[in-house]
Amino acid sequence: MKFDLSNKIALVTGGSRGLGREMVLGFARAGADVVIASRKLEACEAVAREVEALGRRALPIAAHVGHWEDNDKLAEAAYKHFGRVDILVNNAGMSPLAPSLTETTEALFDKVIDINFKGPFRLSSLVGERMVAGEGGAIINLSSTAAFVPMPHTIPYGGAKAAINVMTMALAKAFAPKVRVNCIAPGPFLTDVSTVWRENKQYEQSLGLQRFGKPEEIVGTALYLASDASSFTTGQTIRVDGGTW
């Protein structure tokens, strides 16, 4: 029963596909109503219909988390519609690769930082302060194993996700004791963005579990951190990576 999210309101960015969609549906099955945000409204509306089919309420919102003002509008819309947010999941992200270090354009660098770090910082600040002023809540950030395994081709992305790890600890201190802030660092999951490496058998066999993750396997950790099951856990980053040593 500690995993029960009945009467909770969750806001999930990047909630229309991949790990975000799985968390949205997992929260709904646990009893939560969900705000689903991503850049494409139609995709959010499709997932909203899935949530409603589970008997829960859903609010689809188009928002680009890399844009400061979109985070302001998203937070305001969620509170106007539901009156509060109990669970915030900063899931939206992107990891485009440049041909080389010197061919990494300023526009690409800025886009990676904006979506992976600037947006989660702004949205967490807005929602976290309102959680503190209200009944509290839980914030879950999404990092990556790229923050722990530095590679030349993922410097902007890995750097942004390392910043998310730091932000998680800092916000846990800032919003304590009413708000718990934790982080999930996923490894290689077979989502729609895995096309570059999903056929790499050598990579797959190098993992401790010798297989890639299925998107629904993120839900258990997300439910743990969103619910009272993790009532004494804050400021932590949990790697869900199948053994990415």
Is there a catalytic annotation at residue 157? Answer: yes
Evaluate the CA torsion angle 198, 158, 89, 93 in order and state its sign.
negative
As a whole number of angstroms, the distance between CA 71 and CA 120 comes to 9
CA dihedral over 68, 70, 75, 80, signed as positive or negative: positive
> Which segments within 47-136 are labelled E, that is strand?
58-62, 87-90
Q: Pick the catalytic residue: 79, 157, 203, 224?
A: 157
Quote the radius of gyration of the chain (alpha carbons, Å): 17
Opening angle at CA 108, ends 94 and 157, nearest 5:
45
Region of residue 242 (left: phi > 0; alpha: psi -120 to 50; beta: else)? left
- Reduce the DSSP state of residue 123 to 3 states and report it: helix
33 strand-pairing partners: 9
Peptide bond between residue 177 and the one before it cis (omega within 30 degrees of 0): yes
Question: Which residues are part of the catalytic machinery?
Answer: 157
